[in-house]
Amino acid sequence: MSITIRTLADRDFFSWLGLYEGYAEFKGTRLTDEKALRVWTWITNPNHEENALVAVDDEGNLVGLAHFREFARPLENDRGIFIDDLFVAPDSREQGTGTALINAVRDNAAQRGIHVVNWVLTSDNDAAQRLYDSVGTRTQWATYELTV
C-alpha cells in the first residue's frame, strides 16, 4: 500500500470527520458536532493558525491526519511547529503512515524556514513512542496543564 500526503479538500469533510472521531475516541474525549465543525472551520481557513494534512491510501481513502500550527520560541528568537493531533486509522498503522505524516509536517516546516517540530503524547502509548523514537528525539521536558 502506498500513501500520499496532501492538504484537505472540501470533499474530505465526512472522511476527515470519521478519522477525527476515531482520534477523539482513542483519546477518551467526546467529540460533539460543535467541536468538530469548529476544528473543520479552523483547518480549512487559510487565515487560521491551525493547519491539516491527511494521508490517503491507493483507493483514495483518508487513513490518517495531522493537525499542526506554528508557535513562537522567544528564547530561540524563532518559530516552531507544534503537532496538535496525529492519528492513523487502526488498519493502516505500522505501514509507514504515521512516519509519512510527521515527515510531511517536517517538510512544511522546512519550506517555511522553521527548524523544529514538537509534539506530546501520553506516556502509556507504547506504539506511538516507538514511532516517535524512530523519527525524533525525546526531550527532557514534562508537560503540565492548568485548567482556567
CA 80 and chain centroid, separation: 14
Mean pLDDT of the 22-27 span: 94
Q: Do the Cβ atoms of 67 and 50 come closer than 8 Å? A: yes
pLDDT at 27 over 60: yes
Q: What is the mean pLDDT of the chain?
A: 89
Listed in order, strand segments (DSSP E) in 36-103 are 50-56, 62-73, 78-88
Identify the architecture of domain 4-135 in CATH. 3-Layer(aba) Sandwich (3.40)
Digit-coded pLDDT (tens) for 69-121: 999 999 999 999 999 999 999 999 988 999 999 999 999 999 999 999 988 76
Confidence at 134, pLDDT banded by 50, 70, 90: low
Percent of all residues in the chain with a pLDDT value above 70, rounded to a whole number: 82
pLDDT of residue 119: 83
Query: Residue 94, CB half-sphere, CA atoms under 13 Å: how many?
Result: 5
